[in-house]
Amino acid sequence: FHLSLKLETETKGKLQKQICQVVLDHFEKQYTTELGDTWASIRDVLTYPLCWQYAVLLNKFSQSAELENTLRVKGYHPAFQGPLHYRPASLNCYIRRTPGRFPAQKHQAGKLKEYYLLNAASLLPVLALEVKDGEDLLDLCAAPGGKSVAMLQCAYPGQFHCNEYDDLRSKWLKETMESFIPDPLINLITVSKLDGRQIGDLKPELYDKVLVDAPCSNDRSWLFSSDIQQAMLRLTQRKELSSLQFQLLRSAIKALRPGGSLVYSTCTLSKAENSDVINLILNSCSNVMPVDISEMAKAVSQEFTFLSGTQQHELLVLPEKGKAWGPMYVAKLKKI
């Protein structure tokens, strides 16, 4: 017992050393103001990776009954069991209460992976989007590709445009697609490296559904910034992110057909990058209206903890022990 305690303390020490104090101080100040008492318990989860959980999204294009049995033996159970108005039977995700990570699969050319490891909250934007067979879809900031893969588990699109502006991330996105999507379907997918802010002008009113999983100050990874310089730069640039997010959303609205819907998501707790951006869009674009997603939130409240007091068209997943999912902000809009 003493040995395991000693090991735990040492491991904890190592993990604590990796936390970037500059970022933590910045978050401390901002989130104490924005989230009040809730911040302390969120901080405990975010700064202690040993309590993080990972969900296992099954790939319907490479099914294995053996895998589901293994998952059940290891204490996993299917997620999203509540009375969800939209949950395709082909979207299968397994989670468990205890922390830990199922082993990842390596990329092998010509061989499809059986599952994708992700933060379970990442599936909420996909559920909110409600993609259906035959719809033309745009994933505006698609890398590394988990949400694109999840959308393809839900439905067979007409056309599917996955875009990623960043060179390295774009390569990553292509590899993800090759790892999960079989040949006939992969021909329907266009992977581009366009500036997301220009897509609306280049492809006006072309899509039925658009996902904007925007570049944001990723609270989990920023806390473990590898060096002070990188952290300082990130914190300086943080102020400019909401302007970029606003421009991406404006572009996405132009790319949407009238009657089409859009989901905006980030993996930050920051109000400036979440509800403030959505409010700005609603106040400045007369051709969009908010869509109520509170029923969806209610149906998955067993699995996730949400910030209370948000509007009906938005939700914010707060990480807590045993439900260490998020942060994940989701908002839904419709073009009129």
Is the distance from CB of 141 to CB of 135 less than 8 angstroms? no
Q: Is residue 141 marked as binding? A: yes
Looking at residue 104, the DSSP 8-state letter turns out to be P
Q: Is 285 a catalytic residue?
A: no
Q: Is residue 25 marked as binding? A: no
20, 154, 216, 267: the catalytic one is 267
Q: Is residue 133 marked as binding? A: no
Q: Is residue 166 marked as binding? A: no
Q: List the 93-95 sheet strands across, edge first.
A: 77-78, 93-95, 55-58, 115-118
Q: Indicate the SS3 state at residue 103.
A: coil
What is the phi/psi pair of residue 142, to 5°? -85, -25
Is the distance from CB of 262 to CB of 205 less than 8 angstroms? no
- Amino acid letter, 5: L
Query: Which is nearest to 156 in space by CA: 140, 134, 172, 175?
Result: 134
Close Cβ partners of 227 (under 8 Å, ≥ 6 residues apart):
none
Q: Is residue 147 marked as binding? A: yes
Q: Is residue 331 marked as binding? A: no
How crowded is the C-beta side of 35, counted as CA atoms within 13 Å? Answer: 25
The residues with which 331 forms a beta bridge, in sequence order, are 264, 314
Q: Is residue 164 marked as binding? A: yes
DSSP assignment of 56-101, as one string? EEE-GGG--HHHHHHHHHTT-EES--S--SS--TT--EEE-SS-B-
The C-alpha atoms of residue 124 and residue 141 are separated, in whole angstroms, by: 16
Q: Is residue 201 marked as binding? A: no
Residue numbers belonging to the annotated binding site for S-adenosyl-L-methionine: 141-147, 164, 195, 213
Residue numbers belonging to the annotated binding site: 141-147, 164, 195, 213
Residues with catalytic function: 267
